[in-house]
Amino acid sequence: MARMSRDDYAKASGAFGLQPRGVDTKEELEQVPDQPCGLCKHYLESAYTSDGRGSCKILKEGSDITRDPPVFILEGRNGYMLRILTDASRCTYYERNEFIDKDGYECSDPAFRRFMRQLKDK
Amino acid sequence: MAVRAETLKELEEKQEWWWAAEKKRSSRLDYLRKAMWKKGAIGGLYPAGLYIDLERPVLQTEKARELEFSPDPYVIKFAKILAHVLDNKTIFITDHSQLVGYLGSQPHTITWDPTLAALLNHEVVNDPTSIPEPMDESLKTITDVANYWAGKSDLDKILPHMDLDDAMKVLSGAIGWGVPLSRGGYSGKDYEYIMSGVRAFEDVIAELDRKIEEADAKAHEPGASKEISDLYDKMNMWEAMKITLEAGIRHGKRYARLARIIAENFETDPDRKEELLQISEVCERIPAKPPRTLQESLQYDLFIQLFSRNEAIEGAWPSRPDYYHGPYYEKDVTIDKALTEEEALDLVGEFLIRAAEVSQYKVRWAREGLQGIEGTWVWTLGGVKKDGSDACNAMTIALLKAARLVRVANPTFAFRWHPKVSDEVMRECFECIRQGLGYPSMRNDPILIANAMNWHGHPIEEARTWVHQACMSPSPCTKHGFQPMRMANATANCAKIMEYVFTRGYDNVVNMQIGAETPPAETLTTYEQVFDAWVTQMKTIFSILVRPVNRARILAPKMTPRPYLSAVSERSVDSGLDVCDPSISRGNAWITAFTWVENADSLAAIKKLVFDEKKYTMAQLKEALANNWEGREEMRLDFVKNAPKWGNDDDYIDSIMLDCLREAAKFSRELKCPSGNNWPILPENVSGNIHYANIVGALPNGRRLGDALYDGGISPGPGLDKKGPTAVLKSCSKIDHISDGRAFLLNTRLSPTQLAGEKGYQLWKTYMKTWADLGIDHVQFNCVSDETLRSAQRDPEKYQEVIVRVAGYSAHFVDISRKTQDNIIQRTVQGLG
């Protein structure tokens, strides 16, 4: 990546997505979108997914599914960083995951995404 | 837990050690052990009944808000926040206990430090099991605290000063774990300064007062210089240190007052009343003045550790309890006869329980990597004194006996074996292993002392003071030798080195270009070219992990100082510099190498099947790996069964292992820490082999994405060491344990039947002699039968107390995930003799 200002770099690379700026109010926090990225087949968990971070298996950096109309970038060096509760209602690549087990006890089991408190009823 | 009807002898014959311990221990230890809340995560989640303690984050936040516009420099504000917590947190005394102190406000709470990282705070918000009721109210508190610290946390301060490209790669979680912070990792301690018995907090405060007075006088003499300018910062640092020590003394006195109030107003049992008054007397003195008795010494140690955990999240507990408490044990039990052996055992056993209870909220990847425990409390026993004589004492034996009575999984012990260790002490070590504790792990003291001198240049007297800074890694506890913070993100997921050779450094799991863009695998026409690509990827990954740590160590003194840890460290009291300042440290860094052996097994498979026998092409292999071996099962089995595997005394693969280690060792001397010292590698795993199972793609050793990785260090793959224990030792002995790396973890499973009785001890001793003669630095044992472990999987309720050695630590079998349980059962049981 060409040298650019740290702010521009951070925005382009999704670095801000890695370190949350803060949390919303309790009321906002409880609003889980109907189509959260965390329940999509294409959501890629990293070792740090449990705090909400992940990336998309299909979309590349520069994409923005929260905009209207959304921006889909399919070519690029790095994946599109997003969060487990990102609203994916505008994403045409969304495919809801089918979970196999019900208790999700195992670590390293994709089902642990539901261990995000907000996703457990989804 | 009901008491079993069988006699002690019957239980011991059946090797049901956990029930036998219940019968053997005193009623006090039995009560305290059962009153203990286990804090280790089960799999990756905190067990039911544990809750996040909101008192401390609220105290921290209210003080931070109050000080926001104060003219105090940051380090003093931080010290005042710490003091505010110690002055105001809820304290309690457990019934029948003789030692006091806990991090949380209640025994079943896990403390949360919101000052560290917003990502940790987000995880608290999202936690599915540990938010206290009423949840609505708790969530309001949590979001308020988390929002306050967003943008102000340590990671927020450090991250803008990092190389963002490196930071992105580290924080992806693919190649390493942890964050480069001075207040989150593994803190060493300057025990030679603070635990030697010649000084305590009041003495250090007097020294700090002298320093401040002298500096103040110098700063106001006619003249100006950089040295004078620097004094202003130093005076602030000394002042901050003093604030934390004074708060520590006040905290001790709060316990003294509470114990006295209970004794004088509420306690009806005269014996217990006496004990409470004794606690009160101890805490009036400790930590202000040096200890005089075993109880005071243990209480002093406990306070030192707890205060440090009020300042930082410490994932380890470096300690040498027999060495530092031994003189008090000898005095109380042998010389003054103030305590009987049984009374002393009660104190020592309780000390283990108090340590086992300590817990701090950690992110899920850390909980998964340390399933079943709160952190790696690996306490160091045995070894030699500074003059080279045997350091074992009566406290060594008391600790080993107490461990068998209380059977906590954490702390565990690691024993520094050397040729002068007595048979009596060896028998005590063996008894712990035979009774299935999984500890002590055995460390080769002469080898590791030579290793410390070789890699980090520690003088021999200092090298001889070494303790385990985490699971495996030796660090002296001297003024310039101890490492104040081992930042955990220099932990390499080494299987990625091999994976990236086939993906040109692109990580398909986290969707990022992380490794080097080495030539496409299908264009590599010789094994040497493959190995060159492997070396390039290894260097790239290690560098990405080490650079942020170096950067954070340089930034830490100003941005994330540790006034309390500095106050108990001679280097900082002397210099007025933060304990993490690289200029006052010799350096003792290391790269933990998770998932290492997969590389040797994979390279050997490529060499044999692709280049020697030409059964497959690199293009075919690349395609098979990209598709996770799907549709290529026959080929996969060829790579599993017909390629040489590490641990069978086979020079074909053992030489490849040495090539890998020596390339890494060579590069380790090019990687420098901010103190100018080396970054050797240290292969070991904790339970990272399970955590990374879904993060490492298919590998040429026949592993598929999702399969558990090997259990780590230089341990052969489970079930792949087919030629017996001597072949394993011989493979391991080809490594130079002084110069090829900092230490090498070796897991071994032994049969409990074979270890029964005197014959069992003699067999084990012969094995240990071979191990020592071959110059191997580490070995640890699991000694629980498949039958017991399978039964524990079927009926976990009946086997709550079965302990196993996971990696550099032990855990209760029922507290680790099914995948980890299976991985332990799969390990080869080695027959001795």
pLDDT of residue B572 exceeding 90, the answer is yes
- Res A5: pLDDT: 65
Q: What residues 506-535 of chain B have any CB closer than 8 A to a CB of chain A? A: 509-513
pLDDT of residue A3 exceeding 60, the answer is no
- Helix, strand or coil, per DSSP, at residue B771: helix
Selected residue of A48, A58, A61 to mutate for chain B interface (largest B Cβ count, 10 A): A48
Selection from B762, B787, B781 nearest residue B14 by Cα: B787
First and final C-alpha spacing in chain A: 38
The domain total for chain A is: 1
Is A1 part of a structural domain of the chain? no
Please list, in sequence order, all residues whose beta carbon lies within 8 angstroms of the beta carbon of residue A66, skipping any fewer than 6 positions away: A86, A87, A90
Q: Which of B3-17, B652-666, B719-733 has the lowest mean pLDDT?
A: B3-17
Question: Which of B511, B691, B692 is facing A57, going by the closest CB pair?
Answer: B511
d(CA A26, CA B700): 48
Selection from B48, B64, B59 nearest residue B105 by Cα: B59
Kindly report whether the peptide bond that precedes residue B440 is cis, defined as omega within 30 degrees of 0.
Answer: yes
Question: Which of B131, B150, B694 is facing A20, going by the closest CB pair?
Answer: B150
| Phi, psi angles (nearest 5°) of residue B433 | -65, -45
Question: Which of B143, B146, B365 is facing A47, going by the closest CB pair?
Answer: B365
Q: Is the Cβ pair B118, A105 closer than 8 Å?
A: no
How far is A43 from chain B, CA to nearest CA, in Å? 10
Question: Which of B140, B509, B691 is facing A44, going by the closest CB pair?
Answer: B509
Query: Up-side HSE of residue B254: CA atoms within 13 Å toward CB?
Result: 20
d(CA B250, CA B82): 12
The answer to whether B677 and B586 have CB atoms below 8 angstroms apart is yes
Q: What is the mean pLDDT of residues B521-527?
A: 98
- Res A104: pLDDT: 43
In which domain, by residue range, is A43 found?
7-16+32-119
Contacting residues of B for A47, CB less than 8 Å apart:
172-174, 177, 365, 691-692, 695
Selection from B470, B707, B714 nearest residue B588 by Cα: B470
Alpha-carbon distances, residue A35 vs A18, A66, A67, B288 (angstroms):
21, 12, 15, 58
pLDDT of residue B818 exceeding 70, the answer is yes
- Res B424: pLDDT: 98
Q: What residues 128-167 of chain B have any CB closer than 8 A to a CB of chain A? A: 128, 131, 136, 139-140, 143, 146-147, 150-151, 155-156, 159-160, 164-165, 167
pLDDT of residue B614 exceeding 90, the answer is yes
Chain A: residue whose CA lies nearest to B168? A15
pLDDT of residue B94 exceeding 50, the answer is yes
Question: Please, what is the Cα angle at B473 between B330 and B764, to 5 degrees?
Answer: 65
Selection from B407, B315, B314 nearest residue B352 by Cα: B407
Q: What is the mean pLDDT of residues B812-819?
A: 84
pLDDT of residue A103 exceeding 50, the answer is no
As a whole number, the mean pLDDT across chain B is 94
- Res B592: pLDDT: 95
Q: B95 or B168: whose pLDDT is higher?
A: B95
pLDDT of residue A121 exceeding 70, the answer is no
Contacting residues of B for A45, CB less than 8 Å apart:
694
Is A24 part of a structural domain of the chain? no
- Res A43: pLDDT: 85
Length of chain A: 122
Selection from B708, B715, B821, B778 nearest residue B371 by Cα: B821
- Res B830: pLDDT: 75
pLDDT of residue B76 exceeding 50, the answer is yes
b/e per residue A89-101 (b: at least 16 CB within 10 A): ebbebbeeeeeee
pLDDT band at B260 (very low <50, low <70, confident <90, very high): very high
- Res B273: pLDDT: 98
Alpha-carbon distances, residue B652 vs B12, B643, B768 (angstroms):
45, 10, 26
Question: Which of A47, A110, A115 is facing B177, going by the closest CB pair?
Answer: A47
d(CA B260, CA B411): 30
- Res A38: pLDDT: 84
Contacting residues of B for A93, CB less than 8 Å apart:
none
d(CA B163, CA B535): 23
Give the distance from CA B35 to its chain's centroid. Answer: 25
pLDDT band at B53 (very low <50, low <70, confident <90, very high): very high
Q: What residues 356-375 of chain B have any CB closer than 8 A to a CB of chain A? A: 363-365, 368, 371
Contacting residues of B for A105, CB less than 8 Å apart:
43, 817-818
- Res B2: pLDDT: 55
Is A99 part of a structural domain of the chain? yes
pLDDT of residue B42 exceeding 90, the answer is no
pLDDT of residue B491 exceeding 60, the answer is yes
Q: Is the Cβ pair B364, A15 closer than 8 Å?
A: no
Question: Please, what is the Cα angle at A86 between A82 and A87, to 5 degrees?
Answer: 140
Q: Is the Cβ pair B171, A23 closer than 8 Å?
A: no
How far is A50 from chain B, CA to nearest CA, in Å? 6
- Res B166: pLDDT: 87
d(CA B384, CA B381): 10
Q: What is the mean pLDDT of residues B703-722?
A: 91
pLDDT band at A46 (very low <50, low <70, confident <90, very high): low
As a whole number, the mean pLDDT across chain A is 72
Q: What is the pLDDT of residues B118-149, one digit of tens each?
A: 888 888 988 888 999 999 999 999 999 999 99
Asked if the interface predicted TM-score (ipTM) of this complex is over 0.90, the answer is no
Amino acid identity, position A8:
D
Is A51 part of a structural domain of the chain? yes
**Residue A55 contacts B where some CB pair is shorter than 8 Å:** yes
b/e per residue B615-651 (b: at least 16 CB within 10 A): ebebeebbebbeebbeebeebbebbeeebbbbbbbbe
Question: Please, what is the Cα angle at B643 between B781 and B747, to 5 degrees?
Answer: 10
**Residue A105 contacts B where some CB pair is shorter than 8 Å:** yes
- Res A108: pLDDT: 39
Q: Which of B52-56, B178-182, B614-618 has the lowest mean pLDDT?
A: B178-182
Amino acid identity, position B828:
T
Is A21 part of a structural domain of the chain? no
d(CA B645, CA B641): 9
pLDDT band at A109 (very low <50, low <70, confident <90, very high): very low
How far is A73 from chain B, CA to nearest CA, in Å? 14
Q: What is the mean pLDDT of residues B807-813?
A: 80
Sign of CA dihedral B93, B96, B99, B102: negative
Kindly report whether the peptide bond that precedes residue B484 is cis, defined as omega within 30 degrees of 0.
Answer: no
pLDDT of residue A78 exceeding 80, the answer is no
DSSP letter for B778, please. Answer: E
Chain B: residue whose CA lies nearest to A106? B817
Q: What is the pLDDT of residues B407-449, one digit of tens each?
A: 998 999 999 999 999 999 999 999 999 998 989 999 999 999 9
- Res B77: pLDDT: 97
Q: What is the pLDDT of residues B295-346, one digit of tens each?
A: 999 999 999 999 999 999 999 999 999 999 999 999 999 999 999 999 999 9
- Helix, strand or coil, per DSSP, at residue B22: helix
Q: What is the mean pLDDT of residues B741-764?
A: 92
Is A42 part of a structural domain of the chain? yes
Please list, in sequence order, all residues whose beta carbon lies within 8 angstroms of the beta carbon of residue B102, skipping any fewer than 6 positions away: B91, B92, B306, B354, B357, B358
**Residue A23 contacts B where some CB pair is shorter than 8 Å:** yes
Question: Please, what is the Cα angle at B570 between B564 and B573, to 5 degrees?
Answer: 65
Sign of CA dihedral B116, B122, B123, B129: positive
How far is B664 from chain A, CA to nearest CA, in Å? 25
Selected residue of B52, B138, B165, B510 to mutate for chain A interface (largest A Cβ count, 10 A): B510
- Res A107: pLDDT: 43
- Res A106: pLDDT: 43
d(CA B812, CA B806): 9
pLDDT band at B706 (very low <50, low <70, confident <90, very high): confident
Chain A: residue whose CA lies nearest to B116? A19
Kindly report whether the peptide bond that precedes residue B71 is cis, defined as omega within 30 degrees of 0.
Answer: no
| Contacts of A60-66 spanning 24+ positions with Cβ under 8 A | A60/B511, A61/A12, A61/A13, A61/A14, A62/A12, A65/A90, A65/A91, A66/A90
- Res B579: pLDDT: 97
Please list, in sequence order, all residues whose beta carbon lies within 8 angstroms of the beta carbon of residue B787, skipping any fewer than 6 positions away: none
Q: What is the pTM of this model?
A: 0.93
pLDDT band at B229 (very low <50, low <70, confident <90, very high): very high
Is A27 part of a structural domain of the chain? no
How far is B603 from chain A, CA to nearest CA, in Å? 26
Amino acid identity, position B570:
E
pLDDT of residue B201 exceeding 80, the answer is yes
pLDDT band at B383 (very low <50, low <70, confident <90, very high): very high
